[in-house]
Amino acid sequence: MMRHDLPAEGWRKSSYSPDNGPNCVEYQVTDGGRIAAGDSKNRHLGAHTFAPTVWQQFVTAVAEGQI
């Protein structure tokens, strides 16, 4: 089981996640400026972190239907 030291507060749910669905992605900006993303229903699994430029490329690709 992965652990992380990110605070429990400060997470934002992705606008692409359904309100009551099983797949809820949330994110937050870390103190170091990286973007942490994880599963809101399974925070104990930890989170992946991304450089801001990589996160923006990902968000743009999703918005444009590339992924």
d(CA 44, CA 34): 19
Question: Would residue 3 count as lying in a domain?
Answer: no
Question: Would residue 4 count as lying in a domain?
Answer: no
HEC profile of 8-31:
CCCCEECCCCCCCCCCCEEEEECC
Per-residue pLDDT tens digits of the chain, which is 67 residues long: 345 667 777 888 877 666 666 667 888 998 889 999 988 888 778 888 999 999 999 989 988 999 8
CA distances from 57 to 1, 8, 9, 61 (A): 29, 26, 25, 6
Question: Would residue 7 count as lying in a domain?
Answer: no
Question: Would residue 57 count as lying in a domain?
Answer: yes
What residues make up the domain containing 53?
12-63
Provide the domain count of the chain. Answer: 1
Assess contact for 26 and 38: CB atoms under 8 A. Answer: yes
